[in-house]
Structure 1
């Protein structure tokens, strides 16, 4: 299993609006992609009027990630209105091979 993580900074005042936008765009495309096992959108306030937003998604393998992100899957994928919200636009995302996982307390 592969964990893919993307993070960027936004204005805290726009957090709820941007979370909804990400849910419709990137996260929506995750869910539509064969091999996606799920995702989360997480947020943390940084205390200076900005927040960090991250998407964390799980994939069966790198082929599934490529179906979402394309051949150069390490490069972040952006959508038309992202620039209205983002204070920075990281070029790359992280990928991690999941070696051990126990989410039984979360899923019942």
Structure 2
């Protein structure tokens, strides 16, 4: 299994609105992709900035390519992200996941 980790930031005042957007748009997009296993959605506010980490779990790198395209290390953004995000990190991180 492969974990794909994305990080984004918004103003603290957009904390709930961006969370709603993620639940309505991004998470269904991830979960409808073949090879998607599950996700963890992490969020916190620190010094007036809202931080979001989305950890998605996939069966393989090929499954991630179904979602993100062949250049799977590039972060995928939605048009609405420009209304919230303070910056657009170019890349995501991938890790092999071992469970017992």
TM-score (norm 1): 0.87
Please tell me whether residue 17 in structure 1 is matched to residue 17 in structure 2.
yes
Bigger Rg over Cα: 1
Deviates more, 1:74-83 or 1:19-28: 19-28
Q: Is the 8 A contact 1:41 1:53 kept in 2?
A: yes
- Matched positions, count: 100
Q: Report Cα offsets for 1:22-50 as digits up to 9, x if no partner.
A: 1222211111001100112210111x211
Match of 2:91 in 1: 92
Match of 1:105 in 2: none
Gapped regions of structure 1 (runs ≥ 5)? 103-108
TM-score (norm 2): 0.94
Match of 1:65 in 2: 64
Q: Is the 8 A contact 1:19 1:41 kept in 2?
A: no
2-structure distance, mates of 1:81, 1:18: 9
Deviation at 1:88, TM superposition (A): 1.1
Gapped regions of structure 2 (runs ≥ 5)? none
Q: Report Cα offsets for 1:38-82 as digits up to 9, x if no partner.
A: 112210111x21111111100000010000000001000000110
SS of 2:71's equivalent?
coil
Match of 2:6 in 1: 6
Match of 1:83 in 2: 82
2-structure distance, mates of 1:51, 1:18: 9
